[in-house]
Amino acid sequence: MTIIVQLLVFLLIILSTLLTVGIPVTLASPGQWEQSKNLIYTSAGIWAGLVIITGIFNSFII
């Protein structure tokens, strides 16, 4: 079970890093927001889901 939580945290860190770099670059680029809006919203939803799933799995670890 701890390996699953470690994998979820690793994925959360990777996605957080990508979003931290990707969102400002997208907002700073002219015309990119309209093209990348759905991708950013989807990535943010996946990030929120990972936070919730990681918390649920972490509650099972003693």
17 falls within a domain: yes
1 falls within a domain: no
12 falls within a domain: yes
What is the pTM for the complete model shown? 0.85
Domain of residue 52, residue span: 7-27+36-59
Burial of 38 (0-12, 13-18, 19+ CB in 10 A): exposed
Number of domains in the chain: 1
2 falls within a domain: no
CB neighbour list of residue 47: distance below 8 Å, 6 or more residues apart: 12, 15, 16, 19
50 falls within a domain: yes
62, pLDDT greater than 80: no
- pLDDT tens readout for residues 19-39: 999 999 999 989 888 888 999
